[in-house]
Chain A
Amino acid sequence: MIPLVGLAVGVVLGLLLQPTLPVGLQPYLPIAIVAALDALFGAFRAYLEGTFTDRVFVVSFVSNVFIAALIVWVGDQIGVGSQLSTGVVVVLGIRIFTNVAAIRRALFHA
């Protein structure tokens, strides 16, 4: 319940305060969001499987976001940014699908 409230609060804050990211970081926000989604579904899967710990969750969330952005940043520096960001999105997408499949099995046994 609280996580859902937190999500709603985040959305409302984003709408009300209209925060802006520094221009230099803006290209990495989409990748960071995809990485955060991956961490989120992974955490929910772990919760359903009973192996959830908040410390692991927070650390994995932060590190996922950071690593995803870092990879894309490095790619930008060496001139393969768009290819690397595509690769990161593909990998994270596969992981998200795997996690959601596990969540589905745990919730609906199907």
Chain B
Amino acid sequence: MAERRVRSRRIAALARSRARLTGDEGTERTDAAGEPTDRGAAGAPRPGVWRRIGRAALHPGRSQVAAAVVLCLLGMAGVMQIRANDSDDAYSNARREDLVQILDGLGVESRRLESEVAELQGTRERLQSGADSQRVAREDAQQRVDELAILAGTAPAQGPGIRMRISDPQDKVGADVVLDAVEEMRDAGAEVIEIDGQARVVGSTWFSDDGTGLLVDGIAVARPLTITVIGDPHSLEEAARFRGGIVSEITGPKIGGDVQIDQGDASW
């Protein structure tokens, strides 16, 4: 009971102060004198609230000016904060601990990336050196292939050398004389030997007399013979002309031929 009386007294005081604020004398009387019930506090509406707001909007007072000033400050602060939030440097408002945490995260991340970079650089160097050694090996092999192709007669060759024209009117230069000439040229450092522009002399070349003429690798070569040799021209010519050599053999009384040697560039 006592609690209920206290509550109704409070309601009456509330109504009175409200009436005083709104300047509504009549309602104060009736509310204060009215039945103090619980229904009045919770259930019964206060019909004057909206009217009061409307009237306050039309008749501003000192309190509204104070509220306006405060709201003005609040609006400014809100705009400031929103702008600061929108601005680029999101870290300017961050707390020191947050910044430290962000910095730690970035440090860990950069260390991880640095180790990744080092790893990738190592891989790149390994691949590069591997590619280099592979390239050198390939170049060596290619050089060998070229040399062997020239020796085997499967590739064209060109360089300085000599041209030997052997004319023997009696047709006495046979396979053995040509073989001697080839061997002497080889001894003198010949790299490539060709006979009559038709037969390239390689390791498996053979010479033969078949009665009518001279065969080189099965090809009949015409007389007078022309032997073209690539190598050092001076030593080749010396090798051909030394006493007891191929020239003296051909020009000797046994064959009675003639040999003409020209130095120069040759290519086949």
Listed in ascending order, the chain A residues whose CB lies under 8 Å from chain B are 1-11, 13-15, 18-21, 23, 26-27, 29-30, 32-33, 36-37, 39-40, 43, 48-54, 57-58, 61, 76, 79, 81-82, 106-107, 109
Contact = CB atoms under 8 A, between A and B. Distances in A.
B66 A29 contact: no
A44 B56 CA distance: 13
A82 B72 contact: no
A52 B95 contact: no
Give the 10 A-B CB pairs with smallest separation, nearest first. Answer: A10-B75, A6-B68, A14-B79, A50-B18, A54-B63, A10-B72, A54-B66, A3-B67, A14-B76, A7-B71
A59 B64 CA distance: 15
Given A3-B68, A82-B95, A10 B18 contact: no
Interface string B41-66: 00001100110000011101011111
B64 to A, nearest CB: 4
A103 to B, nearest CB: 10
Q: Could you say which interface size class chain B belongs to?
A: 35 or more
Given A1-B58, A9-B75, A109-B45, A54 B67 contact: yes
Q: Is the interface of A mostly helix, strand, loop or mixed?
A: helix
12 contacts: A1-B60, A3-B64, A9-B72, A10-B75, A27-B94, A29-B84, A30-B93, A40-B74, A57-B63, A57-B70, A76-B96, A79-B97
Interface in B1-57: 14-15, 17-19, 21-22, 45-46, 49-50, 56-57
Contact of B70 (A29, A33, A58): A58
B70 A40 contact: yes
Contact of A14 (B15, B63, B78): B78
B68 to A, nearest CB: 3
B60 A36 contact: no
Contacts of A50: 14-15, 17-19, 21-22
Interface in B91-105: 92-98
A3 B46 CA distance: 23
A53 B77 CA distance: 24
Given A11-B76, A14-B78, A21-B80, 5 more contacts: A3-B67, A13-B72, A29-B84, A53-B63, A82-B98
Contacts of A10: 71-76, 78-79
B128 to A, nearest CB: 51
Contacts of B45: 109
A96 B69 CA distance: 21
A57 B78 contact: no
A92 to B, nearest CB: 14
A3 B98 contact: no
B46 A106 contact: yes
Contacts of B96: 76
B95 A26 contact: no
A97 B60 CA distance: 28
A2 B79 contact: no
B143 interface: no
A2 B64 contact: yes
A29 B81 contact: yes
Contacts of B65: 2
Contact of B74 (A5, A21, A33, A106): A33
Contacts of B83: 14, 18
